[in-house]
Chains A and B, each alone.
Chain A
Amino acid sequence: MLLTLIRRELLANLMTFRFSVAMVVTLLLVVANTVVLITDYERRLISYNTAVKQHHARISDARTYSKLQNETIVDRPPNPLSIFNAGLDRRLGNSIKVSHILVPTLWDTQSHSADNPFLNLFSSVDLIMIFQVILSLLALLFAHDAIAGEREAGTLRLTMTNPISRPVILIAKYISAMVCLILPVVMSLLLALILFSVSGSIALSVDDWLRIGGILLTSIIYLSVFYLIGLLISTITRRTATALMLAMVIWSTVVLIYPSLSVFAVNRLWQAPSRLEAAYGEIEQIWEAFERERINFLKNDGVEGEDPNFNVKTPGDGSVPDWTNSTRTILQYFKPAYREMTRIEPDSEPQIPYVKAYYQFSEPQRIRAAERTWLVRQKTLDQIHVHKADVAKILMRFSPAAMYDLATEAWAGTDFHSITDFITAVQQYRQTIIDYFYDKGAFSSRQWFASDHGIVEWSDLPRFSYRRTNIATSVQHASGDIACLLLINVVLFMTTFLIFVRQEV
């Protein structure tokens, strides 16, 4: 009996004008946008590959160990799944300098592919946005007259004259509508995947397939929410016209207006307690302490004066004075110190041991100061920027559309967590470089500051490798939103069910 009902409903839904129009519109938009996004991805990939090559070649520009701090730049590869949900993948910086004098953070990133910054004026439409807007509308259009329409036409009473229980009717309607809604989702995803394979530039791993599966699952749960909202409206209203009106009001608010409104409000009104000045002072103190220690060492090292060059005579090149690089707004503060002496006069030779001892002392100190700076910096910048975004996300989540967006972002690996994972990987790479320096005894070697006895051979320098966040972490980040969406489903279904069972037809 259930099957008969489902078949009837399914046919009734599939034959409707709205279904065919929505299907065609969805597929057209999916094709157009996927092509755009794939081209964009390919451009970013080329840009990434060029950047990696250039940045790798730059390492050999460093003739001394100390020069490495100026020449190591690592890049974040573009994420192919950003085609599903662009998230932050395109927007945030994707190349970052690694050095022992500064612990890299998100705020130190630059962009290797800043083609045309004005292009951001056109916000990107990804697959998830198409589903989010058009298919939720379709779900409501299916649902608004599911009960109210049949009641108006009197067919509901007719159906009930058969020995069919009300739950069966409801379930049959739900299942058939969901099949109709899943159809465009699956077809869109297939189309997108076909376009992927045609382009040939996108290789998907097993992990990626699982992620796409996750996106599909989340999409189904999301559409189910909207179908059930429509069904509830349809049950409680007498007339289809009223039901439709109410459904549209809810749809426009929940999908289009509320998410933007909440982020806008947070962005405008949220005043983070700014400790920027205090933190900057703290950081300055850290470096003043470092400076004191350094001067102190120079005073007591047995050579007159406080010159870190110890009067080593180098004919005309390669000496870069110590300076401070600071940007208050992002609390960037570091003191670069690199030397590249290509030739040292023989009469300076007795000074060399002092120079070596100096760097052996100063560089570990510098590393410690950088790490202490990072502790202050991370905390403060998180308070200013990250908390604000978190508040916005929490407020946004009152809309299922936002939950869907955030959950799919996590699946695609384009959310904030995935970007911070990259930063963590870069920080680990920095540690690897420092360990490499210690292994080589680089700080106390002549090659730290001079290349006159041969330039540094970088062949055994550990390379940076970055793997996208593993899927278990992504599941973890998506699971909260998915659970919420499921909960909304259950509540809506139960409410509709209880109302429908007690209702007169």
Chain B
Amino acid sequence: MIWHITKRELYDHLNSLRFAFTTVLIIALMIVNAIGYLGEHKAQSVAYQQKVSESLDKMRSNADNLYNLLIEGPGNLYKKPSSLSFCASSGEAFIPESAESVGRSWGLTVPGHFEAWAIWRMQYPQSNPNLWDIMPDYTNVDWGAIISVVLSMIAILFTFDAISSEQEHGTLRLTLSNSISRGTVLVSKFLAALIAIGIPFLIAALINLFLLYTSGSIPLGPSEWGRLGVIVLTAFVYISIFLALGLLISARVSNSSTSLTILLLIWTVWVVLLPSTLGALTSGLQPTMTSNELDRRQRDLSGNLHNQYMEFFVIPSREIPATKETLLWSEYLMEDAIRHERLNEEHLNAQIAQIQLARSITRISPASGVRYAIESLAGTGFTRHVQFLAQIPRYANEFRAFLIEIDLADPESPHAMGPEEGTSQKPVHFESIPKFEDHISFSGAYNAAVTDFMLLLLFFVVLFAGAFLSFLRADV
């Protein structure tokens, strides 16, 4: 029976103006998306390879001397580009593509002309990568935007009059006079609308993938298909939320024009305005250091250390075993690098915590939830960046430990790493240096997406139950 009514409803939908509009709009947007991202992944991969090899070349030239490696560090560490950036890239413009390590950040001259260079440390970019962007504000036309904004709006257009217009015309009473339960009617209306939206969406998505794949812009392996499958599944749950919302309002309001008005206002606030407003509002709850404060703390840190060690500033020497002065120099330079790095990390973590909090609260809007889920699955955006950053301290420690180990192996070194005199000057075998490679972990991505997926499912269940109850009690 359900299938019978669904079929009837589906035919109605397929013949309607809105179906035509939906199909044209979704396909057009997906084609624009495909054209916009033609060659994008390739260009990004080439740029990534180039930057990584530049970084490695620099490391190779520093490897002729352990001291140079100690001062210059591993260079910039880059984030691997995602092959599914066309799915979600709206955040990419505001997220840095690398973690920076700085070498020779300062040099010290003490009377007697000794020059000591600071040891490398991770700095993480603190500047705003978007400083010169003079383009007008806009939303990227990626899958995330198409799904979260356009499909949800379409879902509302398909259901706002599902019940109220039949009530107006009296056809609902006719249907119910047969031995059909109200639940069946509701479910079949829901299914019909889901299929009517799902078909053009799937077709458009396939056209999009076809264009991208045949032009050689993206690889489509099992990992990509798996993630795209979950993205489509999430999209269907997300559409269902708005279908259920539409049915709920339509069942409660007898006039379809009023129903649409209410739905549109809810939609505008919930989908368009709330994610940004809440994000801005809640990020004020956990403010981080301003750049001025950070500057001050950095200066204080350097100043304190400097004062603490200043009286010991006597020229270090290459004597073996290391003299007390050389060891103190080493301690000072090491402390300086590690403490600054710790401060930078602290600042970065505070920034991340601020955003995480704001993101969890914006999940009140399913539009945010679906975007976050798609971002995690596509391997772009903030979640991905946090995964990338999590690998950095581990690598930094590994690199440092490696240098110390090599220094210890050199019998001609006083083993007081830091000042030139205290450090091994031997060339280092380039191949043995640990290199950073960004590992994309998709189990992490799935895990991050599951939370959002569950939340979306919860929204759907609540709204659908609401629609069911309202419809049961509605007068026909």
Interface of B is mostly: helix
Of the candidates A36, A109, A263, A267, the one whose C-beta lies within 8 Å of that of B280 is A36
Contact A121 B91 (CB under 8 A): yes
Stretch at the interface among B123-131, B310-318, B401-409, B423-431: B123-131
Mask of A251-282 contacts with B, CB within 8 angstroms, 1/0: 01100110111011111110000000000000
Choose, from A65-73, A240-248, A456-464, A483-491, the stretch at the interface.
A240-248
Residues on A with beta carbons closer than 8 Å to the beta carbon of B127:
110-111, 114, 117
Question: How far is A244 from B161 in the complex, measured between Cα atoms in Å?
Answer: 12
**At the interface, yes or no: A29 with Cβ under 8 Å from chain B?**
yes
A51 within 8 A of B: yes
Q: B283 contacts the other chain (Cβ, under 8 Å)?
A: yes
Cβ A18 vs Cβ B258 within 8 A: yes
Question: How distant is the Cα of A25 from the Cα of B265 in the complex, in angstroms?
Answer: 8
Task: Tell me if B456 is interfacial: C-beta within 8 Å of chain A.
Answer: no
A396 at the binding interface (Cβ < 8 Å): yes
Contact: B292 with A17, CB < 8 Å? Answer: no
Given contacts A242-B17, A264-B141, contact A133 B268 (CB under 8 A): yes
> Taking the complex as formed, is A106 at the interface, i.e. its CB lies under 8 A from any CB of chain B?
yes
What 0/1 pattern do residues 352 to 391 of B give for CB contact below 8 A with A? Answer: 1011001000100000000000000000001000000000
* Cβ-closest chain B residue relative to A35: B281
Q: How far is the CA of A444 from the CA of B137 in the complex (A)?
A: 50
Size class of the contact patch on chain B: 35 or more
Q: Return the chain A residue nearest B140 by Cβ.
A: A264
Let me know if A134 is at the binding interface, CB within 8 A. yes
Q: Is A469 an interface residue (CB 8 A)?
A: no
Closest to A316 in B: B113
A:102-126 near B, CB below 8 Å: 106-107, 109-125
Name the residue of chain B whose CB is nearest to the CB of A18.
B261
Cβ 8 A contact of A91, one of B130, B256, B279: B130
On whether the beta carbons of B126 and A121 are closer than 8 Å, the reply is no
Q: What's the Cα separation between A301 and B257 when bound, in Å?
A: 89
CB-based contact A121/B136 at 8 Å: no
Shortest Cβ distance from residue B289 to the other chain A in the assembled complex, whole angstroms: 8
CB distance from A314 to the nearest CB of B (A): 13
CA distance A47 to B290 in the complex (A): 8
In the complex, which residues of chain A have a beta carbon less than 8 angstroms from the beta carbon of B96? Answer: 117
Of B30-38, B172-180, B436-444, the one with at least 4 CB within 8 A of chain A: B30-38
Q: Given known contacts A17-B261, A91-B133, A245-B18, is B268 in contact with A137 (CB within 8 Å)?
A: yes
CB of A392 within 8 Å of the partner chain: yes
Complex interface residues of chain A between 13 and 33 (CB less than 8 A to chain B): 17-18, 21-22, 25, 29, 32-33
CB-defined contacts of B281 to chain A, threshold 8 Å: 32, 35-36
One of B69-77, B145-153, B235-243, B461-469 at the interface: B145-153
Residue from the set B134, B139, B272 with the largest chain A CB neighbour count within 10 Å:
B134
Given contacts A241-B257, A244-B257, A265-B36, contact A114 B284 (CB under 8 A): no
Task: Provide the bound-state CA to CA distance between A242 and B141, in Å.
Answer: 28
Residues of B contacting A316 in the complex (Cβ-Cβ under 8 angstroms): 109, 111, 113
Of B131, B257, B262, the contact of A93 (CB 8 Å cutoff): B131
Residues of A within 8 A of B32 (CB): 261, 264-265
Cross-chain contact A51 with B292 (CB below 8 angstroms): yes
Q: Contact mask A302-335 → B, CB, 8 Å, 1/0?
A: 0000000000000010000000000000100000
Determine the distance from Cα of A237 to Cα of B137 in the docked complex, in whole angstroms.
35
Determine the distance from Cα of A50 to Cα of B291 in the docked complex, in whole angstroms.
Answer: 11
Given the interface pairs A17-B261, A257-B150, A269-B36, the reply to whether A116 lies near B134 with Cβ below 8 Å is no
Tell me if A137 and B354 are in contact (CB < 8 A): no
Note all chain B residues with C-beta closer than 8 A to A91.
130-131, 133
Q: Are A92 and B134 in contact (CB under 8 A)?
A: yes
Chain A nearest CB, measured from B100 CB (Å): 13
Q: What CA separation (Å) do A130 and B153 show in the bound complex?
A: 18
Residues B104-118 near A (CB distance < 8 A): 109, 111, 113
* Interface 0/1 of A53-73, CB less than 8 Å to B: 010000000000000000000
Q: Chain A: interface residue count, which band? A: 35 or more
Cβ contacts under 8 Å, B287 to chain A = 115
Q: How far is the CB of B10 from chain A (nearest CB, A)?
A: 19
B338 interface residue per 8 A CB criterion: no
Instruction: Tell me, yes or no, whether A393 is within 8 Å of chain B by CB.
Output: yes
Check: A389 CB closer than 8 A to any chain B CB.
yes
Task: Point out the residues of chain B lying under 8 angstroms from A244, CB to CB.
Answer: 257, 260
Q: Is the CB of A261 within 8 A of B141?
A: yes
Could you say which residues of chain A place their CB within 8 Å of the CB of B265? Answer: 18, 21-22, 25, 134, 137
Measured between beta carbons, the chain A residues less than 8 angstroms from B36 are: 264-265, 268-269
Q: Are A29 and B269 in contact (CB under 8 A)?
A: yes
Using a CB-CB cutoff of 8 Å, which residues 276-312 of chain B contact chain A?
A: 276-277, 279-281, 283-284, 287-292
Residues in A neighbouring B125, C-beta threshold 8 A: 117
Q: Give every chain A residue within 8 A of B165 (Cβ-Cβ).
A: 241
In the complex the two chains form, is A109's CB within 8 Å of B382's CB?
Answer: no
Could you mark each residue 195-233 of chain B with 1 if its beta carbon is under 8 Å from any beta carbon of chain A, else 0? 000000000000000000000000000000000000000
B264 beta carbon closer than 8 Å to chain A = yes
Q: What residues on B are CB-neighbors of A133 within 8 Å?
A: 268, 272-273
A440 within 8 A of B: no
User: How far is A252 from B272 in the complex, measured between Cα atoms in Å?
Assistant: 11
| B141 contacts A260, C-beta separation under 8 Å | yes
* Minimum CB distance partner of B358 in chain A: A122
B283, A119: Cβ atoms closer than 8 Å: yes
When C-beta atoms are compared, the residue in chain A nearest to B350 turns out to be: A116
B295 and chain A: residue at smallest CB distance: A54
The answer, yes or no, to whether B418 is at the interface (CB within 8 Å) is no
Is A249 among interface residues, defined by CB-CB distance under 8 A?
Answer: yes
B1-49: which have CB < 8 Å to A?
17-18, 21, 25, 29, 32, 35-37, 40
| Residues of chain B with a CB closer than 8 A to A113's CB | 290-291
> With a CB–CB cut-off of 8 A, which chain A residues contact B261?
17-18, 21, 141
Inter-chain contacts of A118 with B (CB < 8 A): 94-95, 351-352, 354-355, 382
Residues on B facing A (Cβ under 8 Å): 17-18, 21, 25, 29, 32, 35-37, 40, 91, 94-96, 109, 111, 113, 125-141, 145, 149-150, 153, 157, 161, 165, 256-258, 260-262, 264-265, 268-269, 272-273, 275-277, 279-281, 283-284, 287-292, 351-352, 354-355, 358, 362, 382
Beyond A29-B277, A115-B290, 8 additional pairs, beta carbon < 8 A: A36-B280, A134-B265, A137-B268, A141-B264, A145-B257, A245-B17, A330-B132, A392-B136
Could you list 27 A-B pairs, sorted by A, with CB under 8 Å?
A18-B265, A25-B269, A29-B273, A32-B281, A36-B281, A36-B284, A91-B131, A92-B131, A111-B131, A113-B290, A114-B291, A117-B127, A117-B128, A117-B130, A117-B351, A118-B382, A119-B354, A119-B355, A120-B128, A121-B94, A125-B276, A129-B273, A256-B153, A257-B25, A263-B135, A385-B132, A388-B135
Question: What are the 6 A-B residue pairs with the smallest beta carbon separation, nearest first?
Answer: A122-B279, A263-B138, A268-B36, A120-B94, A18-B261, A260-B138
